[in-house]
Amino acid sequence: MGELVVCDGDVVERSNLNRQFLYGMDDLTKPKASAAGVRLRALNQDVKVTPIIAEIDRASAPELIKGADLYSSEAHIMPNEDESFRSWIEEQMGDVDMPDLGE
């Protein structure tokens, strides 16, 4: 894998630390995408990591996933979206025969 794009519009909160291994105490209040990018670069400097501080939704998804080779369906469902959004993302990825990291 040569490039990893991390997309998240949320910030790191204390409640994330026990279940989201990419973050530590120093990351509290930082954008999750940026903090994840720093940690992932530290794990493998040969991978280009591009953080995008934005929520993925029906409007932004087509542009955000364009050109990707794989994805993870482990995205959070935003309060203004319903479970059909995850299904919609999976359908979009299936249309381009893209593997899911979450499976």
> Which pLDDT score, from 0 to 100, does residue 94 have?
58
Q: Where are the alpha helices (DSSP H) in 14-82?
A: 32-43, 61-65
pLDDT of residue 54: 87
pLDDT at 34: 95
d(CA 25, CA 75) in angstroms, rounded, equals 23
Q: Which helix (H) or strand (E) holds 7?
A: strand 3-7
- Read off the tokens for 17: 């630390």
Please tell me the predicted confidence (pLDDT) of residue 101: 56
Residue 59: what pLDDT? 76
Please tell me the predicted confidence (pLDDT) of residue 4: 85
Q: Is-contact 70 99, C-beta < 8 A?
A: yes
| pTM of the model as a whole | 0.72
pLDDT of the residue at 102: 53
Sheet strands (E) in the chain:
3-7, 48-52
With a cut of 50, which residues of the chain have pLDDT below it? none
Phi–psi pair at 101, nearest 5 degrees: -65, -25
85 touches 57 (CB < 8 A)? yes
